[in-house]
Amino acid sequence: MRVHHLRCGTMCPFARRLITGEGGLLERGELVCHVLLVEAPGGLVLVDTGFGTDDLRDPATRLGPVRHLLQPTYAPAETARAQIEALGLDPADVRHIVLTHLDLDHAGGLSDFPAARVHLLADEQGAALAPPTAAERSRYRSAQWAHGPDWRPYAPKGEPWKGFACVRDLDGLPPEILLVPLTGHTRGHAAVAVETEGGWLLHCGDAYFFRGDVAPRPWCPPGLRLFQRASAWDWERMVENQARLRELRSAAPDVQLFSAHDPVELAALAARARAA
């Protein structure tokens, strides 16, 4: 299975030094939306979607007030749909989308692929479609799934994978793609593992935001740390999961893990995939 690492959105929040750990306070930081495009035997598979065409057309409705904090660049060429076309592939061949969670910077592209099956943890679908708390009511943007996706929700039970529980057998997907429940950022957040010829890729979504979070001596720029904490549904669980990811990183060199938002990780993995 060929895997492409796509940048399906760029966000440039204020105070670069507090977000990236370098540069000035008056400069803009840079966060990306790291999306995987998998050329699987039965069609194309996306892992997360980043921002979509409709988000760019109507950011006020689709993204809401938080867009002023995130400062997306709204680049039409960065949507998954545009990049799939640029690769000479057909967006209609996207049969499956596997989601880490339904926050607006991950789910915006769903409506560009209305025929795809959308795989996610049932708790995440529940939190987004019928939010149990005020915080969850304000974080999700129902306009992003007003088209009525073909949802495939899963209970978080399954078999072990590298010391984590996982859900394999996703409806219609090969066994090389699996959901790894990692709740904390949201109620039903998951990582997505993809087995390739070069080993496993683990898309950690927003289980961590900065490559230093999973370094042997963890460190994260203070502004980004604050944002991680403020946006977490369960911060303690998120901290526990970051410790487990650090252990995985040292114990399993065949697993390449990455965050949805770290531009340095995305650049390195995209270059490696192009060279392969």
Q: Which residues bind Zn ion (CB under 5 A)?
A: 103, 105, 206
Task: For the CB of residue 260, give the shortest distance to Zn ion in the complex, in Å.
Answer: 5
Q: Which is nearer to Zn ion, 45 or 102 (CB)?
A: 102
Task: For the CB of residue 103, give the shortest distance to Zn ion in the complex, in Å.
Answer: 5
Task: For the CB of residue 159, give the shortest distance to Zn ion in the complex, in Å.
Answer: 27
Q: Which is nearer to Zn ion, 105 or 213 (CB)?
A: 105
Q: Which is nearer to Zn ion, 30 or 95 (CB)?
A: 30
Task: For the CB of residue 227, give the shortest distance to Zn ion in the complex, in Å.
Answer: 10
For 63, how many CA atoms within 13 A lie in the half-sphere containing its CB?
Answer: 27
Q: Which is nearer to Zn ion, 4 or 139 (CB)?
A: 139
Q: Which is nearer to Zn ion, 53 or 231 (CB)?
A: 231
Task: For the CB of residue 55, give the shortest distance to Zn ion in the complex, in Å.
Answer: 13
Q: Which is nearer to Zn ion, 107 or 194 (CB)?
A: 107
Q: What is the residue whose two structure tokens read 């939010």?
A: 131
Task: For the CB of residue 70, give the shortest distance to Zn ion in the complex, in Å.
Answer: 9
Provide the token pair at 13. Answer: 């929040």
